[in-house]
Amino acid sequence: MASYASPLPTRTLMKCLMKYMFMRPNKLRCLSSCNTAKGYSSSTSEASTTKYFVRKAHSNTSTSRHYDSLVQCGSLIEDAQQRNVLHQFSQLQRTLQSYSNSVYLKESPTPKVETKRDKTKLQEGKNKEPRSSKTENEEKEERPPPPPPPPKGFYIYGDVGTGKTMLMDMFYSHVENGNKKRVHFNGFMLDIHKRIHQRKQSLPKRRLGEMVTCDPISPVAMEISNETCLLCFDEFQVTDIADAMILKQLFETLLKTGVVVVATSNRPPDDLYKNGLQRDTFLPFIDVLKEYCQTICLDSGIDYRRLDKAGAGRLYYLTSEPDAEAFMDDLFDELALRQKSVAGPLVLTVQGRKLNLQKTCGTIADCTFHELCDRPVGASDYLEMARVFDTVFIRHVPMLTLTLKDQARRFITLIDNFYDRKVRVVLLAAAPLEQLFVQSGGEDDKDRELLDDLGLTGAAAERLTLFTSEEEIFAFQRTVSRLLEMQSEEYWIQGDRSHGKTHSDT
């Protein structure tokens, strides 16, 4: 695999592109089948490689046969733990073919917005109601029997690069059910917060002196339950207190209304939101997750992304190297020749905000770390960039010390979202990839101000992940692993959208 130490010239990358254009169809089919659905996709809108794979090659086969074919053509290495996960997926795959959660939706009443006046009228009505002549036992006999419990989903966790996402996507692509969605957890939570905000905005205006009780979370969960009966999440992680506070109620409603959840994560359930702010209120969610999902540990000890793969040329440069910027400029110019536009600035509109990018050309963006991570941008901005661009240059990435926690969090989120949407990156950084994140530095003025605002003591900074950067240290292992894979020829080819493949369709 090509890395930051490779002396290969820029032209190697263009040779890789030319090789792709003349690749034999059978080899291309095998290569594309290794990459399964990415992004917030549904049964009618999956990643382009999955569309081809499912329609052409394995529309009626099991995930195990799919796995066998990839092993036989040399795209995968036989792994006993992966095989065990696929075996457990097989039964759920068969169950979901004829599954609908409509029966559970009928059992769950639709939450309503109630005012103090509504509650008073309801109580008055109850007081006036004549008592039923039927006994309690007679009423129970007339009620239909409750439906059986919904199928259990899966929560798959393990170290980076062990194949969790690949297996989940393989399972997802073979489930023949029209009501399914596959989404990165970041994108899912952004959608949830957006729906909650819209529901709050649509509430009737409160009259003077009137109390309004609003529960926007359950109705939003019901909306999703009506849209899908299978939800597949990649990178299930909880680092935000706003997410942590709504997850129990959200997922309790989803799961009780028969939505089957399959998720991947680097953390076991008990470690989710570990040492997070107000974690006690989050703990009931873990119990709900364990009740409705079978937990599987997939940890063979092998990071398959680190195995040798054909490199796509020079994609990682060091700022200390002479002419590093010139090499990147040449690569940008060569890629820009294939675009049907001229280089210039671009303004993206994200949720009413403006994201200014100084240098773009068609589906290529040439950015600095400051533009992407050193100002208040987040997952929604990166998702929009992933929709518009297939290649992003990121220049002047500094050594990420603990003092730069905010920037490190954004960089991790950026790479997660780019990787999920197969966006190609070219990096210019202050240190080799394995040495980019440094566990030094520490509490800064922002931390001290936040401690004061929250009314916490200095001891909290030694325990809470908000201040210790434990989550960033943990997550950066995934970032390094993904960036290594993103330098491979296979990844570069899969991310090419020049043949009409865009993620606006996913």
- Check pLDDT > 50 for residue 111: yes
The structure tokens listed for 41 are: 């996709």
Hey, where are the domains in the chain?
Answer: 80-103+150-202+214-297, 310-505
For residue 88, name the pLDDT band (cuts at 50, 70, 90). very high
Which range has highest mean pLDDT (100-109, 174-183, 237-246, 495-504)? 174-183
Tens of pLDDT, residues 262-303: 999 999 999 998 888 888 889 999 999 999 999 999 988 888
Largest CA distance in the chain: 91
The predicted structure's pLDDT at residue 449: 52
- Check pLDDT > 50 for residue 45: no
Tens of pLDDT, residues 2-43: 333 433 444 555 555 444 444 444 444 454 444 443 334 443
**Residue 223: C-alpha distances to residues 40, 216, 220 (Å):** 16, 11, 5
Tens of pLDDT, residues 227-256: 999 999 998 988 888 888 899 999 999 999
Tens of pLDDT, residues 397-456: 999 987 888 899 999 999 999 999 999 999 999 999 999 988 765 555 555 554 455 454
For residue 351, name the pLDDT band (cuts at 50, 70, 90). confident
**H helical segments located in 337-404:** 369-373, 379-388
Please give the Cα distance from 280 to 244 (Å, whole number). 10
Range 80-103+150-202+214-297: architecture per CATH:
3-Layer(aba) Sandwich (3.40)
Give, for 238, the enclosing helix (H) or strand (E): none
- Comparing 323 with 506, the larger pLDDT belongs to 323
Query: Can you tell me the mean pLDDT for 72-97?
Result: 92
Mean pLDDT of the chain: 79
**Residue 111: C-alpha distances to residues 108, 218, 224 (Å):** 9, 7, 14
The predicted structure's pLDDT at residue 164: 94
The predicted structure's pLDDT at residue 468: 52
Find out whether 75 and 212 touch, Cβ atoms under 8 Å.
Answer: no
pTM given for the model: 0.73
The predicted structure's pLDDT at residue 64: 85
- Comparing 163 with 53, the larger pLDDT belongs to 163
